[in-house]
Amino acid sequence: MSAYFVFNYSVTDPEMYGKYRSQVGPTIGQYGGAVIVATSSDVYEAVEGEPAQVLVVLEFESREKAKAWYDSPEYDAIKQLRVDASAKGGWSALVDAFEIPS
């Protein structure tokens, strides 16, 4: 079953965030992930609540693959760039794809 990482954060240090963005893509692909959504609040329309500036959704073939990426040495080496470049680190969630019960 597919699993998704959802990230939502506001960038406070564009230079540091640029370093993160330039390095994160290959780590996602290395673990079989795909970027489904990567956008900012000047592009997306918030219809409820007050989301942060950046919204990212990554898809992996399974929760295990998603966790393997997130806990990998490759991502661990750059993860702190995203956290330090954003207000209070933002938030993230790992969720499984929804399947309609039969």
CB 2 within 8 A of CB 60: yes
pLDDT tens string 45-90: 888 988 899 999 999 999 999 999 999 999 999 999 999 999 987 8
Closest CA to 83 of 22, 33, 1, 13: 13
The pLDDT value given to residue 31: 97
CB-based contacts of 64, cutoff 8 Å, min separation 6: none
Structural domains in the chain, CATH included, are 3-95 (3.30.70.100)
